[in-house]
Amino acid sequence: MARLPLQTLPAFRAVARLENLRAAADELHLTHSAVSQQIKLLEEQIGFELFDRRGRRVALNAAGMALLRAVEPALAALDEGVRTAALASGNAEQRLRITLLSSFAQRWLLPRMGRWRERHPDIGLELHTSQQLVELQREGFHAALRQGSGQWRGLDAVCLTDSPMIVLGSPQAARRLQGCCAAELADEPLLGSNVQWQRWFALNQVRTRVNPVAAFSDAGLMLQAAEQNLGLALAREILAADALRDGRLVRLSPVAMREEQGQTYWLAYPPELAAWPPLVALREWLLDELALSQRELDAPVAAAASITTTAAATAKVTARPRRTRR
């Protein structure tokens, strides 16, 4: 049996995942030629081809898939061993690689990055946005900010916030719709998911046929469209926190809706990193910042209740009959 050239396996794994030699070379900080030579050496050494060549694209054939399944656990274990050793030595780079949804990054995380730097100037954040679930250890990430049930194989998860979905519109829409009931909102241009809007109207005991004017794969884009007065959005309250605070969006109904299938926000990470100081710092900072956001969201509600109570008391005093002197 041919001897496996171990030095070629990182290149093999990268090319198998990216299906492109040049992309693999960029990731490995090697030249295109160097990666090509490593794949050629590997195939020559074992005596058979591992990839089907399709122009610039390469794809694993059956033999390549079998080899990847065999070597991937060993490579992952080596990666983890190096990381653990680096942490034990105290010389590990203080940088967190995080994968998260673009909407959460754009609408909530990025505006708070300055406060993260003030609190942890020695810990850098490397953010990767994706709509797809990413295998953290395989892709080299320390943590993920995800929506779901909190159950991901091989990962620990901490619940961050179970933010409800609320109806939002621009200030122009709010002025025009002041005093409108839920049924009247059905005649407005709606943005987002037909299914979610249907559930929201059902929650308000409104029977209507919903036909949104636009659907979005990214909630951040939908909220931007609502800010530009293109329609009403049904979105997570936490994503609109800053826009509500700044007056760019207005909440149009007191009725909030919870997702049926547990689409809560979680911080997920490999169990062995649970006590790693940079990850502990991130976890505590996220919980503190989300709590602050929630207090800011709750403040206008409390203020409105106070104003209503004061107005009612004033009206009661004004309406009190005067005593006549005898």
Residue 102 belongs to a domain with what CATH number? 3.40.190.10
pLDDT of residue 229: 96
With respect to residue 136, please indicate whether it lies within any of the assigned structural domains: yes
> Does residue 148 share a domain with residue 137?
yes
Average pLDDT, 10 consecutive residues per value, the chain (326 residues): 78 90 85 89 91 85 91 79 61 77 93 94 89 77 89 91 94 93 93 93 92 91 96 96 95 88 84 91 97 88 41 38 36
Clarify whether residues 60 and 104 are in a common domain. no
Which long-range CB contacts under 8 A does 287-293 form with residues at least 24 apart? 287/158, 287/160, 289/112, 289/115, 290/160, 290/161, 290/238, 293/108, 293/238, 293/241
| E strand or H helix at 166 | strand 165-169
| Same domain? 243 vs 106 | no
Place of tokens 């693999």: 24
DSSP designation for 92: -
The number of domains in the chain is 3
In a domain, 258, yes or no: no
pLDDT confidence of residue 313: 37
**Whole-angstrom distance, CA of residue 48 vs CA of residue 46:** 6
Give a yes or no: residue 40 inside a domain.
yes
Containing domain of residue 269, as a range? 95-162+263-305
Q: From the CB of residue 273, how many other CB atoms can be counted at a distance below 10 Å? A: 21
